Amino acid sequence: MKTPFRIWPFLLCCIASGSIGAKFAPRAQAQGAPLPVQRNLVYGEAGGQKLLLDVYGANRARTRPAVILVHGGSWSSGSKADLGFVASALARQGYVGFSVNYRLLRDGRNRFPAQLDDVQRAVRWVRAHAREFGVDPQRIGALGASAGGHLAALLGTTDTRDNSDRALARYSSRVQCVVDLYGPTDFTAALDLANRTRMRADQSPGAGIVQGFLGPLPAAAANYRLASPVTHINRKTAPFLIFHGGRDTLVPLNQSQRLHRALRAAGVESKLVVFPAAGHGYSEPELLAQTFIEVQRFFARHLAASIGASL
């Protein structure tokens, strides 16, 4: 469940050239101006590990909406640098981008909910430091790809208060909107005995990744429910924009379809964009261009609708 790193330079070039998305964003930063980037800021500590993030486009003089970027990598690899191009692109369009690291699965350690705890802590930290970075704490979105899409989806469907630093616990971790690129959303099918039997016999990479992340069944059954965004949906859930490839063999299309149906059934805004011939981490230029146009429109509608006077 890795992020397609090679797609982001293409998108950034499109934005820099003004070819896509410009009219849908808040006031963009001048292309010739240097983009302020603050790297390796500590937003917390867990298990003896400092949790780091990078900030793109912060400006205390101008209040802006923010986007939390969550990298993929099967919850076991990747880093905040992987989505640096996206954070930079969004910052050029008038958002403050926060690309976050979280604890990675290592030899059975840092299983769920470690990753969720960390990204929720990151959102709370951003809200606590909103004035410092020129962020409107009521306009924060999330974008993630693959495993990062799963975590971003949980940011839009949950708001757990008892897993954070005491100083941050009073801040909400719920974001105002979510872009989920082909992330898994429903692990509960594995709880059915027949499906569990099949899962034990399933030697596919995806099955092994999920069991390593959530733990063995039946002992870890609670994790399979808690880690499924579809089980947390209610009328407080944030609006979603979901992308998936019809030929994704790592995260099946039905994962995004289930999420989309559950959101719509609860009366929550959801748009599912399916590229029928695309696989996991699609990289075709025309699909990437369409993806970013949709993302720009979505964030502008939910984060930047009333931003004109403040930028």
Q: pLDDT per residue over 281-290, tens digit each? A: 999 999 999 9
Average pLDDT, the chain: 87
Place of tokens 């867990």: 46
Here the contacts of 101-109 (C-beta below 8 Å, separation 24 or greater) are 101/51, 101/52, 101/53, 101/71, 102/51, 102/70, 102/151, 103/46, 103/47, 103/49, 103/51, 104/73, 104/75, 104/76, 104/77, 104/78, 105/74, 105/75, 105/76, 105/212, 105/213, 106/76, 108/212, 109/47
129 belongs to a structural domain: yes
The yes-or-no answer on residue 280 being catalytic is yes
Q: Which amino acid is at 182?
A: Y
CA 133 remoteness from chain centre: 20
Say yes or no to pLDDT of 20 above 50. no
290 belongs to a structural domain: yes
Exactly one of 146, 164, 173, 228 is catalytic; name it. 146
Q: Taking residues 182-200, report their average pLDDT.
A: 78
Exactly one of 88, 228, 248, 270 is catalytic; name it. 248
Exactly one of 150, 260, 280, 302 is catalytic; name it. 280
pTM of the entire predicted model: 0.89
The yes-or-no answer on residue 129 being catalytic is no
CATH code of the domain covering residue 73 = 3.40.50.1820
148 belongs to a structural domain: yes
Say yes or no to pLDDT of 270 above 70. yes
197 belongs to a structural domain: no
196 belongs to a structural domain: no
The yes-or-no answer on residue 306 being catalytic is no
Q: What is the pLDDT of residues 66-78, one digit of tens each?
A: 999 999 999 999 9
213 belongs to a structural domain: no
211 belongs to a structural domain: no
Residue range(s) defining the domain that contains residue 55: 7-17+28-186+228-305
pLDDT of residue 167: 85
pLDDT category of residue 23 using cuts at 50, 70 and 90: very low
Q: Taking residues 300-311, report their average pLDDT.
A: 61
Q: Which amino acid is at 248?
A: D
Domain count, the chain: 1
84 belongs to a structural domain: yes
